[in-house]
Structure 1
């Protein structure tokens, strides 16, 4: 494979890695958004009391005003389309556990990003070495033809 083909292959690999990094960064942002929603839920559970009036989302941007009958009947999504009913303290604990799992997920994804960035740096270094080799070969060819830098054609 010629050095030009190798450079093109490295460039393609670098683009693919950059695409993967961007996808993973979007994943981290989505997880952080979910963490923010969990924080809001915890704050709401801790501050609401039975008899409080809240806005309940119905979907599609529509809300309904409702009164909280009993704060000790909180339903929390557990994952995999499962949910459970908890009292106030246990609901907060379940949400804190969910937040911890999200933290772990962020760490995992961030580690993947670091590994890809290291691979990308290594590929960039290889590409620079190939470019330097190609330039050196080009200079040697020019010097071999008597056309080195600073030399003029002898036809003048």
Structure 2
């Protein structure tokens, strides 16, 4: 395989890795947003009391005012389309647990990003070495190019 083909292959691999890194960075942002929502939910559950009036989102940017009948009836989404009803403290515990799982997932994805960045750095170094070798070969060809058969000193 020529050095030009190797460089093209390395370039393609680098682009694929960069795409994967960008996707994973988006995943981390999504996970951070979910974690923020969990924190906000915990704060709300801790501060709300029975008979409090809240703004409940209906979707599409619409809200309605509602009165909390009983703060000890909090429904928490558990994942996989499951939810459970908890008392106030149980809801907070469930959300804290969810937050821990999000932190673990963020850490896993961040580690994968680091691995890909290291791989990218290694491929970039290989590409630089190939470019240097190709440049050296060109320089040698240019320097030795005038000394081919029939072009040296002649006795004419």
Q: TM-score range by the shorter chain?
A: over 0.9
Q: Count residues in correspondence.
A: 147
Cα drift, residue 79 of structure 1: 0.3
Q: Say if 2:51 is the partner of 1:55.
A: no
Cα drift, residue 55 of structure 1: 0.6
Structure 1, unmatched stretches of 5+, are: 148-156
- Number of the residue aligned with 2:119: 119
Question: After TM superposition, which residue ranges in structure 1, 4 or more long, deviate above 6 angstroms?
Answer: none
Question: Per-residue displacement from partner, 1:19-67 (whole Å, max 9, x unpaired)?
Answer: 0000000000000000000000000000000000001111111111000
Cα drift, residue 146 of structure 1: 3.7
Structure 2, unmatched stretches of 5+, are: 148-156
Cα drift, residue 145 of structure 1: 1.6
3-state SS, counterpart of residue 108 of structure 1: helix
Question: Per-residue displacement from partner, 1:82-112 (whole Å, max 9, x unpaired)?
Answer: 0000000000000000000000000000011
- Number of the residue aligned with 1:36: 36
Structure 1 distance, partners of 2:9, 2:15, is 10
3-state SS, counterpart of residue 44 of structure 1: helix
3-state SS, counterpart of residue 63 of structure 1: strand
- Number of the residue aligned with 1:132: 132
Cα drift, residue 81 of structure 1: 0.2
Could you tell me the TM-score, scaled by structure 1's length?
Answer: 0.93
Q: Say if 2:64 is the partner of 1:64.
A: yes
